[in-house]
Chains A and B, each alone.
Chain A
Amino acid sequence: GAGVSQTPSNKVTEKGKYVELRCDPISGHTALYWYRQSLGQGPEFLIYFQGTGAADDSGLPNDRFFAVRPEGSVSTLKIQRTERGDSAVYLCASSPGGGPVDTQYFGPGTRLTVL
């Protein structure tokens, strides 16, 4: 079956602009996660959705970052007033959500470059 998909695969933007990154999870998966991976580092947690609600957003670095999942499937990560330090690969993962601690399956990521 289809895995997690993310669009766009690459996004280049200018400092101060607004960007949206999209994640389409595996069909039927209720849990969805966003992570950010900087060069040479492991992924770092940003936010977790169970269904439509953000169950844990403790990893969002500041209020310029926001994510939604209005229908419990597709999720959008939104970054306002982008800064050069936001440049990274943004990874999305999904899991069945039945617990405990299901395996997370990752998408290919969106590489964001802020000039």
Chain B
Amino acid sequence: AQKVTQAQTEISVVEKEDVTLDCVYETRDTTYYLFWYKQPPSGELVFLIRRNSFDEQNEISGRYSWNFQKSTSSFNFTITASQVVDSAVYFCALSTQGGSEKLVFGKGTKLTVNP
């Protein structure tokens, strides 16, 4: 069975602080994919990144960066110099190849960035 744990329920920071959102996953499959989605107050899930299990290179996109470590089954997300517009619920999700490719989501981390 697959499982995603986002232990941080809520995080509150002040604008311009760096913040890291944790994600730990469980799967027995050797081929799997990890995702991060953002859900702003408007409610629509916005895709941020997709990573497969064979690519452990960290990725940076503007102020966003992701740290994938298979040794600890983690796929953490860092926002550098946070902004008020980053306030949202962030979800980490897992999918495995060969099945229905359904996404298994964590419970999400609510990030509030205060001015």
Q: Which A positions have Cβ atoms within 8 angstroms of B?
A: 31, 33, 35, 40-45, 48, 55-56, 58-59, 89, 91, 93, 95, 99-109
Contact = CB atoms under 8 A, between A and B. Distances in A.
A31 B4 CA distance: 23
A105 B47 contact: yes
B100 A41 contact: no
B53 to A, nearest CB: 10
Interface of B: 4, 31, 33, 35, 37, 42-47, 50, 52, 91, 93, 95-97, 99-108
Contacts of A99: 97, 101
A101 B43 contact: no
Contact of A89 (B43, B95, B102): B43
A90 to B, nearest CB: 12
B55 to A, nearest CB: 13
B50 A56 contact: no
B34 to A, nearest CB: 10
Given A45-B102, A56-B100, A101-B97, A108 B108 contact: no
B28 to A, nearest CB: 16
